[in-house]
Amino acid sequence: MASNEAPTTQSTPVRQFSVMLENRIGALHSMLKLLADDNIHALGLSIQDSFDVTILRLVVSDPEGLETLFIERGISFSENEILVVELAGGPSCLERCIGALSRAETNISISYPLLVRCGGHALFAISVEEPDFACGVLQPQGFKLVYQNDLSR
């Protein structure tokens, strides 16, 4: 499933979508229901709440379908490439992963666990300024990266 090799045309980077929601009860549920109604599943999410707006970041099972859904519904969104790291040794690998990036002076701007597993292992999503550089740091340390085709149905 996961690969130690650099992305190819068959190893598409994981896409993270960001969308602003109203800061009100039920807004997250409404968004997740909208996705589910189109058979798109949230594989991981992060919420950054403020007084009047919430930023929802999503990794989904069908990024192309989500993009189409958002465009058809007039929902403003942004997307960026993120890294998904397999933590084969469980939670104890998290410190090694973060440590490797820290020693390489790579800043992590966003991170969250995914709700799915790959090969029975926990997955950790991270957003960094230079994903290719971070790949080059993590792979020699024995970390496997997971790509969109590993997550999509």
What are 18-54's pLDDT values in tens digits? Answer: 999 998 899 999 999 999 999 999 999 999 988 888 9
Residue 45: which domain range?
16-79
For residue 57, count other CB atoms closer than 10 A to its CB: 21
- Please give the pLDDT value at position 153: 59
Same domain, 86 and 144: yes
- Whether residue 32 is found in the same domain as residue 67: yes
Cβ atoms of 84 and 123 within 8 Å: the answer is yes
86 shares its domain with 131: yes
pLDDT in tens, 78-137: 999 999 999 998 888 999 999 999 999 999 999 999 998 877 889 999 999 999 999 999
Q: Do the domain assignments include residue 6?
A: no
pLDDT the model gives residue 6 = 47
User: What pLDDT shows up at residue 47?
Assistant: 94
Residue 119: its pLDDT value, please? 79
In the chain, the number of structural domains is 2
Q: Please tell me the distance from the alpha carbon of residue 54 to that of residue 80, in angstroms, as a whole number.
A: 18
Distances (CA, A) of 93 to 7, 43, 123: 22, 21, 11
